[in-house]
Structure 1
Amino acid sequence: MVQLIDLTRTLDPADRDLLPEQLRPLAAVVAPAVTYAHPSGSGRDEFAAAMRCSVEDLPEGEGWGSELVTEFSSHLGTHVDAPLHYGSTCEGKPSRTITDISLDELWCEAIVLDLRGRCAANTAISVDALEAALTANGAPIPAGGAVLLRTGQEQFTLTDPEFFQYPGMSREGTLFLAERGAKVLGTDAAGWDLSFAVMARKFEETGDNSVLWDGHRAGREREVFIVQQMTNLAALPPSGFRVAFFPIRLARASAAPARVVAFV
């Protein structure tokens, strides 16, 4: 019997108010702004206007429920990055957009690498840590499949400072997984690379621009699809399951929010 396990973060506009003040400009990647119309409230007025009648004419005196969603980033919540997100070219060719990726490429075998105890906040996940987690898993990376990184970040909420101080991936780590056959790279952290604040500080200290978003930019060398802000990885077995990473069809976009579901 197949069990469906939802790996998708709920998009709740109330989460926008939980962000620290300095991160409010990034609210659109955490949750959209939503105006709600309830059937007994403004939805009633909207429906009556659409039907060219009065609210007194409506059956049971109610209209429809509807929502107006705004401030909706293509990188909102649990989302799939297309190669265009990393740059205009990938493997020497024009980068693909989210609608260039077929569903077959996003329905694949997957494994979980348990990195808890092998990584640290605000620190790049080492290749040694990835190798150790792969050995502990015991299963190979599926060719063209997915690797899901369980860093332990899913235990934190937006009210926890630790949510924003996550382990990140480097160029070396990303290429290590891609070169072993992974096509989809997922994480329970808020981002794939280290946080913007950590990368900016490293650049200020060293002047080395290779530290800027090197995990994502590795996707220009080897085409991969990065999935961030996953949840519920604790409910998955180490291997032997498939995942659907199905984004909405957003034309010409570098990413799109997705409903990510494991079939165990």
Structure 2
Amino acid sequence: MEIIDLSIAIEDRTPNDPPSMPTEIDYWDHIKGAEHIKTFFPTATNDDLPKGLGWAIEYVKLTTHSGTHLDAPWHYHPTMNNGEKAKTIDEMPLEWCISDGVMLNFSHFPAGYIVTAKDIEKELDRISYKLKPLDIVLIQSGAQKYYGSKEYLVKGCGMGREATLFLLNQGIKIVGTDAWSWDSPLPLVAEKFRETHDKSIIWEGHFAGIEKEYYHLEKLTNLDKLPAFGFTVSCLPVKIKKASAGWTRTIAIMP
């Protein structure tokens, strides 16, 4: 068995997120930790600690959409399935999070391209695979190689409403991308909206979740190391009460 890590690290002040969504990590080393541990043991001194050192801990400020994470329907809208209350991440069926994986390679498309249902059908034909309910479908968008730079925010193709609903109508519940967003890069969509004022293009892949319940992974990595199919994905989210998303250590398990 081989494990392939599909998750990026949560890092201090990464350039991969917009200024409005910063990640900050305050690292307390063992010296600072010695002072902290003594607040629990008021009569202790440094001489009572191994080499005068305490514990190391970190204080982290971030959003639930920092790092590799799984979005819940509540992120997209208050309702799903055309009227039901949208589920938060702590309410999702965990059995959906461990299932057969399928990797569709759309990295040849230019940044901002909106993948269509026909594109998905063509790729499935190319890899000779037929989707089945509860497969976890991962999209190689072309953005992964830009991770670590500000360009990451504007790279990769996106999944629009049509492509998303096509997958959901096959019984798919979890999908994922190596891009910053399941949708086309937001700055590129914003520019197109400025020109056309076509409201249907705003967050259309996410808003498909208003019609049908689904969950998606964002900011995956190492999808280029995967075969098209024949592996298992595990993407259990952190259980955050009433949250719109949860961080995951997503992995692919190779037989």
In the superposition, the TM-score normalised over structure 1's length comes to 0.90
Secondary structure in 2 matching 1:227: strand
Q: Distance in 2 between matches of 1:234 and 1:197?
A: 25
Equivalent in the alignment of 1:224: 214
| Deviation for aligned residue 1:102 | 2.1
Q: Distance in 1 between matches of 2:127 and 2:58?
A: 43
Equivalent in the alignment of 1:116: 107
**Partner amino acid for 2:97?**
L
Q: Distance in 2 between matches of 1:102 and 1:179?
A: 18
**Partner amino acid for 1:120?**
P
Contact 2:232–2:252 (8 Å) recurs in 1: yes
Structure 2 unaligned segments of length 5 or more: list them. none
Secondary structure in 2 matching 1:218: helix
Equivalent in the alignment of 1:256: 246
Q: Distance in 2 between matches of 1:175 and 1:163?
A: 24
**Partner amino acid for 2:8?**
R
| Deviation for aligned residue 1:19 | 5.4
CA deviations 1:122-162 (Å, max 9, x no partner) are 22123332222111121111312211011232112232625
Q: Distance in 1 between matches of 2:185 and 2:2?
A: 34
Contact 1:112–1:137 (8 Å) recurs in 2: no
Equivalent in the alignment of 2:87: 96
| Deviation for aligned residue 1:195 | 2.0
Equivalent in the alignment of 2:205: 215
CA deviations 1:51-93 (Å, max 9, x no partner) are 11222332221111111112x2111111111111111111121
Secondary structure in 2 matching 1:251: coil
Of 50, 58, 63, the residue aligned with 2:54 is 63
Q: Identity percentage over the alignment?
A: 31
Q: Distance in 2 between matches of 1:89 and 1:179?
A: 18
Q: Whose helix fraction is larger, Structure 1's or Structure 2's?
A: 1
Of 126, 133, 136, the residue aligned with 1:143 is 133
Contact 1:76–1:256 (8 Å) recurs in 2: no
In the superposition, the TM-score normalised over structure 2's length comes to 0.93
Of 36, 39, 44, the residue aligned with 1:46 is 36
Q: Distance in 2 between matches of 1:116 and 1:202?
A: 21
**Partner amino acid for 1:213?**
W
1:173 matched to 2:163: yes
Q: Distance in 2 between matches of 1:141 and 1:168?
A: 20
Q: Distance in 2 between matches of 1:46 and 1:160?
A: 37
Structure 1 unaligned segments of length 5 or more: list them. none
Query: Relative to 1, partners in 2 of residues 1:63 and 1:162: Cα closer, same or farther, differing over 3 Å?
Result: closer
| Deviation for aligned residue 1:97 | 0.9
**Partner amino acid for 1:183?**
K
Map of 1:186-201 to 2, 5 A cutoff?
186-201=176-191
Equivalent in the alignment of 2:3: 4
Equivalent in the alignment of 1:107: 98
Contact 2:7–2:249 (8 Å) recurs in 1: yes
Q: Distance in 1 between matches of 2:85 and 2:221?
A: 32
The CA RMSD over aligned residues, in Å, is 1.6
Q: Distance in 1 between matches of 2:130 and 2:63?
A: 35
Q: Distance in 2 between matches of 1:164 and 1:50?
A: 48
